[in-house]
């Protein structure tokens, strides 16, 4: 059984805010499983905004997280269901470190996308931490999230492609702030092989940013693209 000191160290290493580790176990050939729970005793009703302390049900499941060194890490989390004291209806709590219906943490998704930007989906999936299907879902989620926000001012724009599988001619277009390596946009038509559609999607995004933002861009780097018809 883990000591209080071990639990405290694991919680600090996990570094997920108000989430604490309550136990851990190591499975040979699989990795470390950390059982966690929230230190919050309440949740906010998404419909009326009322703070609810009335626990209705527990829903435990396992998700993937960033590895500890060479050990793969899984979190056994509890997305509790509360009953709103005002609406009188049950609702699931919102966990800020994992999206609903996802099998991995947000930070693992972020790290995975950064690796895909430097390689390709299949190469990253071959590491055995996440599957190709999970990576594709990560890209779609990131695409939707980025579409909902306008980037802040930047000076150097990179337009590149992510190879879904190297050598297969199937790509996903991305826009990057070259100074910070921050991902700005992912084209929504990830699996469309028609370059013309990708060009139109890039132009649409640039128009949506507005003239004021575009005038601050001093340099554009386009890699592996034939985008002469954009201009």
* pLDDT tens per residue across span 89-123: 999 999 999 999 999 999 999 999 999 888 888 89
Are 113 and 198 in a shared domain?
Answer: yes
Given 98, 126, 152, which residue is the final one in a domain? 98
Task: Give the pLDDT of residue 12.
Answer: 95
Last residue of one domain, picked from the residues 98, 119, 136: 98
> 229 pLDDT band (50/70/90 cuts)?
very low
Q: Quick check: pTM over 0.75?
A: yes
Residues 149 and 112 in one domain: yes
One domain for residues 5 and 90: yes
Q: What is the band of 1 on the pLDDT scale with cuts at 50, 70, 90? A: low
At residue 203 the predicted structure's pLDDT band, cuts being 50, 70 and 90, is confident
For the beta carbon of residue 7, count every other beta carbon within 10 angstroms. Answer: 17
Judge residue 53's burial from the number of C-beta atoms within 10 Å of its C-beta, 0-12 exposed, 13-18 middle, 19 or more buried: exposed
Q: What total of structural domains would you count in the chain? A: 2
Q: In this predicted structure, what is the pLDDT of residue 197?
A: 65
Query: What pLDDT is recorded for position 110?
Result: 94
Contact 202, 173 (CB under 8 A): yes
> 4 CB contacts (<8 Å, ≥6 apart)?
none
Place 227 in a pLDDT band, splitting at 50, 70 and 90. Answer: very low
Rounded to the nearest 5°, which phi and psi values hold at 129?
Answer: -85, -45
pLDDT tier, 3 (very low <50, low <70, confident <90, very high otherwise): confident
Residue 109 confidence (pLDDT): 97
Average pLDDT value for residue range 11-20: 95
Task: Please tell me the predicted confidence (pLDDT) of residue 205.
Answer: 86
Q: Are 78 and 120 within one domain?
A: no
d(CA 160, CA 127): 23
Assess whether 113 and 88 both reside in one domain. Answer: no
147-199 per-position pLDDT tens digit = 778 888 899 999 888 776 665 556 778 899 999 888 998 875 544 444 446 77
* pLDDT greater than 60 at residue 226: no
The top-scoring range by mean pLDDT among 57-66, 117-126, 149-158, 219-228 is 57-66
List the beta bridge partners of residue 177: 157, 182
Q: What is the DSSP string of 102-164?
A: -SB-HHHHHHHHHHHHHSBHHHHHTTSSS-HHHHHHHHHHHHHHHHTSPPPP-SEEEEEEEES
Model pLDDT for residues 22-45, shown as the tens digit of each residue:
999 998 888 999 999 999 999 999
CB-side exposure of 177: number of CA atoms within 13 Å? 14
According to the 3-state scheme, what is the secondary structure of 60-94? Answer: EEEEEEEEECCEEEEEEEECCEEECCCCCCEEECC
Q: Are 139 and 190 in contact (CB under 8 A)?
A: yes
Q: Does 156 share its domain with 178?
A: yes
Beta carbons within 8 Å of 136's beta carbon, 6+ residues apart: 121, 164, 190
Mean pLDDT of 65-73: 93
Order of strands across the sheet with 171-177? 182-186, 171-177, 156-163, 219-222
Cβ neighbours of residue 185 under 8 Å, at least 6 residues apart? 143, 146, 147, 151, 174, 175, 205
Domain match, 225 and 118 both: yes
Q: Is the same domain home to 125 and 208?
A: yes
Same domain, 113 and 226: yes
Q: Do both 110 and 138 map to the same domain?
A: yes
Which residue range(s) make up the domain with 187?
105-231
- What value does the mean pLDDT of the chain take? 87
User: Are 116 and 167 in a shared domain?
Assistant: yes
Domain identity same for 81 and 110: no
Of 37, 68, 98, the last residue of a domain is: 98
Tokens representing 88?
């009188």
| pLDDT grade for 146, boundaries at 50, 70 and 90 | confident
């Amino acid at each position: 059984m883990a000591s209080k000191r071990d639990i405290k160290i694991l919680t600090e290493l996990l570094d997920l805010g108000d989430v604490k580790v309550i136990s851990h176990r190591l499975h040979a050939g699989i990795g470390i499983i950390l059982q966690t729970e929230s230190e919050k005793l309440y949740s906010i009703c998404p419909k009326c905004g009322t703070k609810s302390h009335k626990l209705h049900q527990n829903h435990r499941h396992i998700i993937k997280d960033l590895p500890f060194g060479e050990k793969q890490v899984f979190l056994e989390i509890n997305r509790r269901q509360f009953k709103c004291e005002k609406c009188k209806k049950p609702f699931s709590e919102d966990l800020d470190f994992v999206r609903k219906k996802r099998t991995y943490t947000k930070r693992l998704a972020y790290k995975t996308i950064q690796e895909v930007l430097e390689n390709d989906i299949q190469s990253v999936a071959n590491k055995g931490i996440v599957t190709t299907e999970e990576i594709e879902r990560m890209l779609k989620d990131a695409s939707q999230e980025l579409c909902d926000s306008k980037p802040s001012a930047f000076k150097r724009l990179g337009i590149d492609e992510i190879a879904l599988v190297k050598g297969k001619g199937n790509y996903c277009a991305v826009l990057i702030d070259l100074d910070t390596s921050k991902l700005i946009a992912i084209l929504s038509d990830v699996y469309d092989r028609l370059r013309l559609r990708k060009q139109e999607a890039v132009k649409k995004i640039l128009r949506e940013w507005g003239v004021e933002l575009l005038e601050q861009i001093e340099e554009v780097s386009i890699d592996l693209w034939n985008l002469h018809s954009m201009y």
